[in-house]
């Protein structure tokens, strides 16, 4: 990202009946509150603002009229929604990836924060938008970008990479055993001048190439879509860089909580907290959502939360 200032969502107190509210339900909100607020933070960063659930709960915990919550999100739709949904002057939301936290702090004349939370899962709002391609149960363009105004959509990504690169990506980021078979089919379509451009195109390939599992609980396209989404958005690279730099802008004694949804993310978080002496691990094992939360919000079932404190 360039060194230009971040854009904060303007005039958060305007009303607009034509704007739609978020349908996203934040994961493990009680645990986030419990572990972050124990250190009495005054400046909190919500690096994956999404529907604003975590930010709003954190604002409720701050003393009246005190503290700051800074939200960041790469999705322009989030920024547009914030303009109409937010009413608390202590909330500042920026259109940016969470690895740009230092720039967001600087915009508010701050150098450090006291708490930092990341919820790395897809939001329900993104899944519901058929123009984004995140849900393989809806027809739409194969985009998969968090920020549809920047970067390379997944369909174009497939067009500029060769069979080996596609297969390696699907295997590495999706842990898909049939990655080479899928990559071969993708490239074969391109040679026939019928490239993969839509969600349905890729889902059909995955259905043909991935045998149905015995318990039928995983859609054959799940791992491939995950892999391409990670690649298009550089998700793991951004997570690694952020956790490496966070000790520079998290105040001593400050806490970071990261909620991950698959083993690749969780491994990065676990290793970052374990291998850097700047961190004191507070959760020896990852926290999991309660049974009641999973019942109310099934998308939380694979969530794992790890917490560390800046020494």
Query: For 226-257, what is each residue's pLDDT tens digit?
Result: 999 999 999 999 999 999 999 999 999 999 99
21 pLDDT tier (thresholds 50, 70, 90): low
Q: Is 119 annotated as a binding residue?
A: yes
Q: Is 51 annotated as a binding residue?
A: no
The span from the CA of 205 to the CA of 257, in Å, is 37
Q: What is the mean pLDDT of residues 55-65?
A: 95
Mean pLDDT value across the chain:
91
Q: Going from the N-terminus, what domains does the chain have, and what CATH number goes with each?
A: 29-125+235-310 (3.40.50.150), 131-233 (1.10.150.170)
> What DSSP designation does 141 have?
B
Question: What pLDDT digit, counting tens, does each position of 101-134 carry?
Answer: 999 999 999 999 999 999 998 876 776 677 788 8
24 pLDDT tier (thresholds 50, 70, 90): confident
The span from the CA of 235 to the CA of 229, in Å, is 8
Question: What pLDDT digit, counting tens, does each position of 173-184 carry?
Answer: 999 999 999 999
Pick the residue with more confidence: 11 or 291?
A: 291
pTM surpassing 0.75? yes
Q: Is 168 annotated as a binding residue?
A: no
The span from the CA of 148 to the CA of 161, in Å, is 20
Decide if 225 contacts 198 (C-beta within 8 A): no
Q: Is 73 annotated as a binding residue?
A: yes
Q: Is 75 annotated as a binding residue?
A: no
Whole-number percent of the chain with pLDDT over 90: 77
Decide if 64 contacts 10 (C-beta within 8 A): no
22 pLDDT tier (thresholds 50, 70, 90): low
The span from the CA of 134 to the CA of 136, in Å, is 6
């Amino acid at each position: 990202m360039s060194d230009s200032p971040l854009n904060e969502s303007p005039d958060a107190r305007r009303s607009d009946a034509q704007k739609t509210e978020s349908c996203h339900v934040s994961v493990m909100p009680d645990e986030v509150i419990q572990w972050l607020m124990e250190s009495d933070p005054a400046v909190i960063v919500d690096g994956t603002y999404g529907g604003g659930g975590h930010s709003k709960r954190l604002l409720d915990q701050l003393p009246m009229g005190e503290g700051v919550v800074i939200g960041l999100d790469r999705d322009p739709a989030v920024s547009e929604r914030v303009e109409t949904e937010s009413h608390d002057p202590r909330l500042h939301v920026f259109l940016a990836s969470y690895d740009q936290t230092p720039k967001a702090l600087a915009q508010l004349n701050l150098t450090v924060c006291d708490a930092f939370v990341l919820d790395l899962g897809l939001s329900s709002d993104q899944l519901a938008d058929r123009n984004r391609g995140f849900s393989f149960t809806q027809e739409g363009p194969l985009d998969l970008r968090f920020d549809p105004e920047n970067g390379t959509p997944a369909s174009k990504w497939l067009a500029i990479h060769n069979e080996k690169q596609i297969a390696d990506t699907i295997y590495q980021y999706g842990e898909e055993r049939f990655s080479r078979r899928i990559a071969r089919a993708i490239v074969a379509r391109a040679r026939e001048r019928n490239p993969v451009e839509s969600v349905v195109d890729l889902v059909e390939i995955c259905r043909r190439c991935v045998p149905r599992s015995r318990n039928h609980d995983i859609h054959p396209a799940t791992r491939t879509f995950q892999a391409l989404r990670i690649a298009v958005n550089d998700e793991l690279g951004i997570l690694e860089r952020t956790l490496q730099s966070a000790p520079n802008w998290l105040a001593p004694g400050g806490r970071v909580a990261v909620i991950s949804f698959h083993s690749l993310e969780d491994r990065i978080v676990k290793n970052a907290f374990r291998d850097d002496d700047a961190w004191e691990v507070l959760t020896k094992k990852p926290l999991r959502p309660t049974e009641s939360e999973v019942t109310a919000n099934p998308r939380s079932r694979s969530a794992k939360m790890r917490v560390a404190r800046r020494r």
